A and B are shown apart, each in its own frame.
Chain A
Amino acid sequence: MLRNKFAATISLALAALLALSGCAGSNSSSAGSAPPAANPAADSFSETPGSAAEDGPLTPFPETVTVRVNKEFNPDIWYPEGESICDNVMTRFYEDQLNIRYKLVQEIERGQYEAKLNLSIASNDLPDIFYANASQIYRMYTAGQIQDQTDAYEKYASEKVRGELEVNDRMYLAPAMFEGRIYGIPCPEDFSLSVPQVWVRQDWLDDLGITDFDPKTNEDIYELARTFMDKGKARFGILLDNGVGNTFSCLNTTLRGLAHSEGQPINIFYDDGTGNLVWSDIQPEMKDLLKEMQALYREGMFDTEFAVKDYSKAQEDLAAGYVGVYINPFTVRGPFAKNKQNQPEAEWTAFPIPAQADGSYHVSAESTCFRWLVVNAGFEFPEAAIKGQNLWHELWQGNHAEYFHGLNEGEYSQAGEDFKLYPPFWFDPPMKNLRQGEVFPDAWHNRDRDSIASPETRKQYDRSIRYFEKGESDLYTGWTNIHLFDMAFPILKKVYGAPDNILFEAYTGPTTDVIANKRPLADQNRLEWIIKFIVGNADVDAEFDTYVSEWLAVGGQDVLTEANEWYKNK
């Protein structure tokens, strides 16, 4: 508090000085683009108002604004005595900085958010600012329940937030834009949630004396998986699930990893080069992949029963140590930590998936934005949403990051990773982990903490140090940080050339009624056929065309037509 007051005083004085010298005319965007400074007094200098005219990204409201919110309640989150989900150190900080008070009007049982929000939409009993998914946004937009945030966004979004959210032709904003207007502020997650690497049990490699494993072709991967099985290490070769229970199932990422060397994208719409959007999984090139998968299934490469196991069931097999090859994105913290708990000797290493014929990488990636922050049509202060997100970014990565991560490592260490759920809303800058992956490896191997600028990366570094050198039993972050920041992200950056070489989902249009209704039918049909092909209940050569025509008939054609119409008018 004292420090804040001090900072505010200094900055007011400096701002007054600026006003006197005639430089106060600078607009809000220049305030945001000022380089981040280490000194808190200096940075609030550029973002604290000198006069009413200077209403910037982080300017507090003149009067206290009360925002009614809903929150998903998670009983596992730790709060100190006297703090709660909507009254804690972070919400107080928001009130302090922005003069926004958050009032909890609906507490939602964990895992029920979407269903409960559907009910709120149906009964038109909505909070002021809240998360919604793409099809909910489309419905609320057509029913006039949410308001246009374009003006608020253009005026108040800080340069840093814009930099994070407007990547790749505004692909994160587009699904919540109608007629060029912004109706939702994206709350994306890491861009690479669906981009696979080949994860291998390093301790098994060591036991078997294999030192030259470096997969150049799919066959190299299969060969290793067979060796693990033959030598009695693994029960089956490569982990697979039935594609149910998680947005980025093991089935899709494995298909994506194995299809890459043939240049085949998986589970996305992409431009076929003629300005048309096509759906990856009905292309004739899929046949070879499916035949390959079928042959592998027959030889026992996958669990005979993978079709019965959803995402979490399959993860149990990984945790039990039944499998040593796992084609998956960086999202390995939970599964690996559980495996290490069961088998303390377990070590995992990541390798790049095999390159395309010319040695290049063009890995397909699904969109990783699942929710947007929307504002109730009747709410008077739409800019409260974007201002809150500006402040969140400052806390998570920007000028207040020292304060935020300092608290997280100090008084609030018991909250762990959940500390980011203390503020009213949050998002993860999609490219942030990639940046951490650029800094972390050198710092880690040279034990050079000072070379890390980002307070968050420093926090992760400290946790790993505590695990590896001080014997703290923090498997979930301390141990797995190495997998993320020393293995997965360097591969993404250096080998795959992310994000430039990533083939992102090309349909970023709204989730219209047609898409919301037909896409699930088409997806289910696809899943059903792909699994039938893999387990050999259907012959690839004879029945692939039946699959394609059925997929088109159950709704795929409608989705394709709708997507192409949007793509042509883009």
Chain B
Amino acid sequence: MHGIAKRLKLRSTYQLHLIVLPALIVLVLFCYIPMFGIVIAFQDFMPTKGFIGSPFIGLERFRYLFTLPNFRNVVVNSLVIAVLKIAFTQLTAVIMALLISELRAEWFRKSAQSIALFPYFLPWVVLGGISIDIFSVRGAANSIVQLFTSEPIFFLGDPGWYRVFLVSTDVWKNYGYTMVIVFAALTAIDPALYESAMMDGANRFKQVLHITVPGILPTLMLLLVLALGGILNAGFDQVFVTYNPLVYSSGDIIDTMVYRLGFEQGQYSLATAAGIFKSIVGFILITTSNWMAQKFLGYRVI
């Protein structure tokens, strides 16, 4: 009886399964099968022998990676830069979304949203050159700085200011995208809640605090958990197009190091090892943050 029902169900839904099939095949082909390639991180990979014939050397590559003199510095840089970027992007996006949503003129709201989103679509190769000009000693940013102090700030050459430069330009470029998601969450909040709050005498600020913020919190958690997975992605292209020898100490990140070691010199095993290291850290963070979101906020993301 049970089996017949199941078969009947399949008969009526097989078209849907067929529709999913190509996507599944592509997923397996391009996302799961290439994962076998990670074995080269544990091998003395020789191209001629391929990854079936190359000898296994265990964790040697990881040991080498961890003993690289600037590895610790590079990991710390990646973490600091990525955390700052995540925090400030989310914060800016939420604040801007709340402010813009309070606007009355719809045309202004819409255009502000589009303008905020626009830089998200520009690649860093283009923005890098523009931002270097803006933040140079003779640039626009420094003409503002010089209204307050006489000394210009060396944004791109001072290790401390370089991080400020990285985070602020990245926030400017990317907050629009997060903001659009927050807007979507805002529209999902039942307007009746606001009406009843108003009847109870809550002012605008109280409404935001007790209705809007709890209402978008699940979405924020989702964004945060997903962002944590990429915590060691401090933004390769941005750093790569803007860094220079003066700021290696505060701006060199795992990806730029892997690029120099792995791709410029063709050390695939080492580059793979670094990639696996990043994935493992991301995996641990994403699972723990998901677990914490579930435990403390009662919200399940994944």
Residues of A whose CB lies within 8 Å of any CB of B are 114-115, 118, 121-124, 135-136, 139, 143-145, 242-244, 304-305, 307-308, 310, 516-517, 520-521, 524, 527-528, 531-532, 535, 537, 553-555
Which residue of A121, A305, A528, A535 is within 8 Å of B136 (Cβ)? A305
Q: List 9 A-B contacts (CB under 8 A).
A: A118-B263, A135-B265, A305-B137, A307-B246, A308-B132, A516-B265, A524-B248, A531-B245, A537-B246
In the complex, are the beta carbons of B244 and A307 less than 8 A apart? yes
Which A residues lie within 8 Å of B249 (CB)? 528
In the complex, are the beta carbons of A528 and B245 less than 8 A apart? yes
In the complex, are the beta carbons of A136 and B246 less than 8 A apart? no
Bound-state Cα–Cα, A490 to B264, Å: 38
Bound-state Cα–Cα, A232 to B264, Å: 43
In the complex, are the beta carbons of B246 and A520 less than 8 A apart? no
Closest partner residue, chain A, to B49 (CB atom): A143
Chain A contact residues, majority secondary structure: helix
Which B residues lie within 8 Å of A145 (CB)? 47-48
Which A residues lie within 8 Å of B265 (CB)? 135, 516-517, 520
In the complex, are the beta carbons of A242 and B263 less than 8 A apart? no
Which B residues lie within 8 Å of A115 (CB)? 263-264
Residue B299 at the chain A interface, CB threshold 8 Å = no
Residue B267 at the chain A interface, CB threshold 8 Å = yes
How near does chain B come to A413, taking the closest CB pair, in angstroms?
A: 35
Residues of B whose CB lies within 8 Å of any CB of A are 46-48, 50, 68-70, 132, 136-137, 154, 156-157, 244-246, 248-249, 260-261, 263-268
Which A residues lie within 8 Å of B264 (CB)? 114-115, 520
Which A residues lie within 8 Å of B156 (CB)? 305, 308
How near does chain B come to A231, taking the closest CB pair, in angstroms?
A: 21
In the complex, are the beta carbons of B267 and A143 less than 8 A apart? no
Which B residues lie within 8 Å of A527 (CB)? 245
Closest partner residue, chain A, to B252 (CB atom): A524
Closest partner residue, chain A, to B157 (CB atom): A307
Contacts A115-B263, A135-B265 given; does A123 touch B47 at CB 8 Å: yes
In the complex, are the beta carbons of A118 and B137 less than 8 A apart? no
Contacts A304-B137, A528-B245 given; does A143 touch B261 at CB 8 Å: no
In the complex, are the beta carbons of B244 and A143 less than 8 A apart? no
Which B residues lie within 8 Å of A143 (CB)? 46-48
In the complex, are the beta carbons of A118 and B248 less than 8 A apart? no
How near does chain A come to B57, taking the closest CB pair, in angstroms?
A: 14
How near does chain B come to A414, taking the closest CB pair, in angstroms?
A: 31
In the complex, are the beta carbons of B268 and A243 less than 8 A apart? no
Closest partner residue, chain A, to B136 (CB atom): A305
In the complex, are the beta carbons of A517 and B246 less than 8 A apart? no
How near does chain B come to A516, taking the closest CB pair, in angstroms?
A: 5
Which B residues lie within 8 Å of A123 (CB)? 47
How near does chain B come to A112, taking the closest CB pair, in angstroms?
A: 11
Which A residues lie within 8 Å of B245 (CB)? 242-244, 307, 524, 527-528, 531
Contacts A305-B137, A305-B157, A516-B265 given; does A124 touch B246 at CB 8 Å: no
Closest 7 CB pairs of A and B: A118-B266, A122-B47, A554-B69, A307-B246, A308-B156, A527-B245, A528-B245
How near does chain A come to B92, taking the closest CB pair, in angstroms?
A: 26
How near does chain B come to A511, taking the closest CB pair, in angstroms?
A: 10
For the A-B complex with A242-B245, A524-B248 known, give 6 more contacts whose Cβ atoms are closer than 8 Å. Answer: A122-B47, A308-B132, A520-B264, A520-B265, A532-B246, A555-B69
Which residue of A520, A528, A555 is within 8 Å of B248 (Cβ)? A528
Which A residues lie within 8 Å of B70 (CB)? 521, 554
Most chain B beta-carbon neighbours within 10 Å: one of A308, A520, A553: A308
In the complex, are the beta carbons of A308 and B47 less than 8 A apart? no
In the complex, are the beta carbons of A124 and B47 less than 8 A apart? yes
Which B residues lie within 8 Å of A244 (CB)? 244-245
Which B residues lie within 8 Å of A305 (CB)? 136-137, 154, 156-157
Closest partner residue, chain B, to A531 (CB atom): B245
Which A residues lie within 8 Å of B136 (CB)? 305, 308
Which B residues lie within 8 Å of A308 (CB)? 132, 136, 156-157, 244, 246
Bound-state Cα–Cα, A310 to B200, Å: 63
In the complex, are the beta carbons of A124 and B69 less than 8 A apart? no
Which A residues lie within 8 Å of B268 (CB)? 122
Bound-state Cα–Cα, A121 to B45, Å: 12
How near does chain A come to B162, taking the closest CB pair, in angstroms?
A: 10
Which B residues lie within 8 Å of A517 (CB)? 261, 265, 267
Which A residues lie within 8 Å of B154 (CB)? 304-305
How near does chain B come to A534, taking the closest CB pair, in angstroms?
A: 10
Bound-state Cα–Cα, A124 to B53, Å: 13
Bound-state Cα–Cα, A524 to B154, Å: 21
How near does chain B come to A142, taking the closest CB pair, in angstroms?
A: 8
Bound-state Cα–Cα, A503 to B219, Å: 66
In the complex, are the beta carbons of B46 and A242 less than 8 A apart? no
Bound-state Cα–Cα, A123 to B47, Å: 6
Closest partner residue, chain A, to B262 (CB atom): A118
Which A residues lie within 8 Å of B48 (CB)? 124, 143-145
Closest partner residue, chain B, to A516 (CB atom): B265
Bound-state Cα–Cα, A29 to B244, Å: 52
How near does chain A come to B230, taking the closest CB pair, in angstroms?
A: 25
Bound-state Cα–Cα, A562 to B263, Å: 23
In the complex, are the beta carbons of B157 and A121 less than 8 A apart? no
Bound-state Cα–Cα, A135 to B266, Å: 9
Closest partner residue, chain A, to B159 (CB atom): A537
Bound-state Cα–Cα, A114 to B136, Å: 32
Which B residues lie within 8 Å of A537 (CB)? 246
Contacts A307-B157, A517-B265 given; does A121 touch B246 at CB 8 Å: no
Which B residues lie within 8 Å of A555 (CB)? 69
Bound-state Cα–Cα, A535 to B249, Å: 15
How near does chain B come to A546, taking the closest CB pair, in angstroms?
A: 13
Most chain B beta-carbon neighbours within 10 Å: one of A121, A122, A135: A122
How near does chain A come to B238, taking the closest CB pair, in angstroms?
A: 15
Which residue of A136, A524, A553, A554 is within 8 Å of B266 (Cβ)? A136
Contacts A143-B48, A554-B69, A554-B70 given; does A121 touch B267 at CB 8 Å: no
Closest partner residue, chain B, to A553 (CB atom): B69
Bound-state Cα–Cα, A198 to B266, Å: 38
How near does chain A come to B192, taking the closest CB pair, in angstroms?
A: 56
Bound-state Cα–Cα, A524 to B74, Å: 14
Which A residues lie within 8 Å of B137 (CB)? 304-305
Closest partner residue, chain B, to A530 (CB atom): B245
